[in-house]
Amino acid sequence: MRRITLPLVLGSATMLGSEPHDRLEMRQISKSFGGVHALRNVSFRARAGAVHALCGENGAGKSTLMKILAGAITDFEGQILIDGRALSFSGPRDAEDAGVRIIYQELNLVPEMTVAANIFLGRERRHGLGWLDNRTMEAETRRLFERLGAPISPRTIVGDLRIGDQQMVEIAKALAFEAAILIMDEPTSALSDAEVARLYRVINDLRAGGHTIIYISHKMNEVFTLADDVTVLRDGQFVASAASRETQPDQVVRWMVGREIAAMHYEPHPISERAMLEVSGLSLASPPLSGRPALRDISFQVHAREVVGVAGLLGAGRTELLEALCGASPERPGGSILLNGRPVHFRHPSDAIEAGVALVTEDRKNLGLFNEMTVGENITIGHIGALSKGGVIDRGAEMRAIRHAIERLSIKTAGPSALVTSLSGGNQQKCILARWLMIEPKVLLLDEPTRGIDVGAKAEIYNLIRELVKHGMAIIMTSSELPELLTVSDRIMVLCEGRKTAELTRAEATEESIMHAATQFLDRVSKAS
């Protein structure tokens, strides 16, 4: 593959009075999994005092390359040099001791432990006699969150935090030890706009202090806001490296996918007059100390062949709404739900699935995937009854269904028998989508379905949504990305603090009108104070 290298430019935030130098060099890195080449002779350099964006589609090899750098993968070909010194890591602890820390896209926390205990796990502060020094660890944790501008208590149990706050704990965990090389894998995927702004400030502070940031993101606005340099991988191989000021987002996307990506825009289509789902006065109490928002008196309809987008800031109640609709909320919601004109009362997600309502959850690692199972098993697990005869699985029918799903959603895998954890995040998400599409639901609930997915895969998901509604499905979809909602939605419902504040037609929906409704109650509180 042709190597493209444009002139590298010293970032403006590099330390004054110091010459730029390569903090990191990875030479001719190769790695295979079960005969599948994840990386082939990839070389990568990153400068001290710079943010280096690492881009590529899902499955391009970005995460594998960074896991090698972080010591999580030790069986590979090639060489790692830090500040010119060749190093070999026997595990993550060795990499951390060498100054390398990683923030994984899939959160790596212990839900049963406190925030402070997670941050110092394996590197606990102790008194002279060996007892844990909880007071010091909690004080240092408070200082970290003050730096991040996040009001999270060190004593909170991590499992009680919403996904965005858990992401902030991961970031604090990586910052605690001031790594020389900090790897961030899609760090903003679960953060609000305010939290993203705080993270940007922290990254700029680290860059000014001479740290090297390797930033993995599919969001071109983030890449060109933060990065000094950009490197692109495709199909496990190096494609290009450039100073960000010497290239453009469209060029980076072309390097990533090897082709032009057609601009996605809303396409009008006929919507049925039949309401597939009717919700009236939906309310849900917030469990004590959960930090989850309550839902209050929410009413709306979704018609067959329609996509209703749900917008709102983090904590507005988007996920809670979808959980309440499919029987997955901790308490039974109040109000009424009609499915195809008939009242339903789901006590468990299995009741919803049987009735034809399926949820693709935002938290695919903990709530969506069966990590010990294969790709094929993850796809068919919700449809085993229909693939069985006399209580025995028809393996031929199962394999045909799996291969059809893999082909339909373009899932990149070594095969149906590969472990689902061997797939990239985007392809794992496709497996979950394939699982629920196999039951042919009447109503499909999508909670942040493109979180952590590259531009090419996003276009595939958008086209799939269009195909599904064309054949009569009703879809409710949440997203933190307003352009995405405007691309796929026929109507947009806006939530703020657990209440519906607007329901916008295509003609009414703009980023400004959505944000106005999403901050309606917040604005009221601000003016009152």
What is the domain partition of the chain in residue ranges?
4-99+179-256, 108-176, 275-356+442-528, 370-440
How confident is the model at residue 20, as a pLDDT? Answer: 59
* pLDDT tens-place string over residues 265-301: 777 888 999 999 999 999 998 766 555 678 999 999 9
- Beta-bridge partner residues of 217: none
* pLDDT tens-place string over residues 221-257: 889 999 999 999 988 999 999 999 999 988 888 888 7
Tell me which residue has tokens 């958008």: 462
How confident is the model at residue 197, as a pLDDT? Answer: 83
How confident is the model at residue 159, as a pLDDT? Answer: 87
- Give yes or no on whether 4-99+179-256 and 275-356+442-528 have one common fold: yes
How confident is the model at residue 118, as a pLDDT? Answer: 93
How confident is the model at residue 417, as a pLDDT? Answer: 92
Name the CATH code of domain 275-356+442-528 (choices 3.30.420.40, 3.40.190.10, 3.30.565.10, 3.40.50.300).
Answer: 3.40.50.300
CA 7 to CA 10: how far, in whole Å?
10
How confident is the model at residue 85, as a pLDDT? Answer: 93
Q: Is 366 left (phi over 0), alpha (psi -120 to 50) or beta?
A: alpha
What stretch of H or E contains 319?
A: helix 318-325
Report the half-sphere exposure of 234 (CA within 13 A, side-chain side). Answer: 16
Within the chain, which residues score under 50 in pLDDT?
1-18, 522-529
Cβ–Cβ contacts within 10 Å for residue 382, how many?
A: 18
The domain made up of 4-99+179-256 has a fold known as Rossmann fold (3.40.50)
Percentage of residues of the chain with pLDDT beyond 70: 91
CA 200 to CA 211: how far, in whole Å?
14
How confident is the model at residue 10, as a pLDDT? Answer: 30
Cβ(302)–Cβ(276) under 8 Å? yes
Tell which residue, 291, 318, 306, 285, has the closest CA to residue 501.
318
Cβ(99)–Cβ(90) under 8 Å? no
366: which DSSP letter? I
CA 124 to CA 51: how far, in whole Å?
30
How confident is the model at residue 191, as a pLDDT? Answer: 73
CA 149 to CA 168: how far, in whole Å?
10
Tell how strand 229-234 and strand 51-55 pair up. Answer: parallel
- Per DSSP (E only), the strands in 149-253 are 181-185, 212-216, 229-234, 237-243
For 63, 186, 308, the CA distances from 456, given in Å and listed in that order, are 17, 16, 23
Cβ–Cβ contacts within 10 Å for residue 90, how many?
A: 9
Cβ(125)–Cβ(139) under 8 Å? no
What's the CA angle centered on 201, arms 136 and 50, to 5 degrees? 100
CA 77 to CA 83: how far, in whole Å?
20
